């Protein structure tokens, strides 16, 4: 679920713009963090 949500954060400009208002690049950072956490949880 987190992987899909992270993808949405960067693939939908509405999400990206909203999240990046907090700090530029935050949407991409969050996506990468979600991906890393999912991989860790699955033992990859």
pTM of the entire predicted model: 0.85
Domain coordinates in residue numbering, the chain: 2-41
Q: Burial, 9: exposed, middle or buried (Cβ in 10 Å; 0-12, 13-18, 19+)?
A: buried
Per residue in 1-44, pLDDT (tens digit) is 889 999 999 999 999 999 999 999 999 999 999 999 999 998 87
Q: For the domain made up of 2-41, give the CATH fold.
A: Globin-like (1.10.490)
pLDDT score of 44 = 76
């Amino acid at each position: 679920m987190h992987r899909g949500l992270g993808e949405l954060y960067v693939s939908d400009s509405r999400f990206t713009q909203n999240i990046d208002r907090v700090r530029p690049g935050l949407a991409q950072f969050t996506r990468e963090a979600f991906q890393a956490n999912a991989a860790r949880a699955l033992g990859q």
